[in-house]
Amino acid sequence: MKRLKIAILLSILLIGGIVLVSLWVNLQDRKKALEEAEKIPKISTEGADQRLEKIRFVEEKHGRKTWELEAKAISQYQGENILLLEDVKVIYYLKDGRSITISGNRGKVHQDSKNMELVGNVLLISTDGYRLKTESMSYQHSSKQAATSDPVEFEGEQIRLTGKGMLVDMEAKTFKVLSQARTQWKGGRKG
């Protein structure tokens, strides 16, 4: 009987220790995520030549929409030829009829090159059902390529992929994870 009580007590202590370690690890992960979020610079309107709220730009070439940009607010700095954006959503219309939507908390657009940087909860969604999540992304307009060095989560109907860093070529329709790639096959058949 005494051995049973000791075994039960040790089991309770062991389980309690495991729970405490799990809680501590989760708190450390949350603390690290908050520290990373604090590193993201806030958009300042000081020195802005112009500030607009609830904007939408559309670019058309030869009667066809090539991209749209929506933002909660935009600050223009003409001397630097840049736009700073809040709550950004950009839709790129590809020649084959598909579209890719990229959104993020804050963005920076270089007006001369149309290159863009997005920071904070960046989400890329394609019309063929793929989703990519990361913390920051840069887009090079001339090459139609998006890239990040941050951790990425990519998900489609049949696959889930995680890794660190990526390069997406929208015209060539390629996606490359730069390191630590892990894939999970969702499997299963429809019907």
Q: In this predicted model, which residue has the larger pLDDT, 170 or 87?
A: 87
pLDDT-derived band of residue 191, with 50, 70 and 90 as boundaries?
very low
36 falls within a domain: no
Number of domains in the chain: 1
Predicted pLDDT at 152: 94
Q: In this predicted model, which residue has the larger pLDDT, 81 or 47?
A: 81
pLDDT-derived band of residue 190, with 50, 70 and 90 as boundaries?
very low
pLDDT-derived band of residue 47, with 50, 70 and 90 as boundaries?
low
pLDDT tens track for 162-172: 999 999 887 88
139 falls within a domain: yes
**Rounded average pLDDT over 62-80:** 87
Mean pLDDT of the chain, nearest integer: 81
What CATH number does residue 170 fall under? 2.60.450.10
pLDDT tens track for 116-143: 899 999 998 989 888 999 999 998 988 8
Predicted pLDDT at 83: 85
164 falls within a domain: yes
The DSSP annotation for the chain comes to -HHHHHHHHHHHHHHHHHHHHHHHHHHHHHHHHHHHHHHSPPP--TT-SEEEEEEEEEEEETTEEEEEEEEEEEEEETTTTEEEEEEEEEEEEPTTS-EEEEEEEEEEEETTTTEEEEEEEEEEEETTS-EEEEEEEEEETTTTEEEEEEEEEEE-SSEEEEEEEEEEETTTTEEEEEEEEEEEE------
Predicted TM-score (pTM) of the model is 0.66
pLDDT tens track for 143-189: 888 899 999 999 988 889 999 999 988 788 788 999 999 999 887 55
Predicted pLDDT at 148: 92
The proportion of the chain whose per-residue pLDDT surpasses 70, expressed as a percent, equals 75
Burial class of residue 18, CB neighbours in 10 A (0-12, 13-18, 19+):
exposed
Residue span of the structural domain in which 97 resides: 50-185
pLDDT-derived band of residue 9, with 50, 70 and 90 as boundaries?
low
26 falls within a domain: no
20 falls within a domain: no
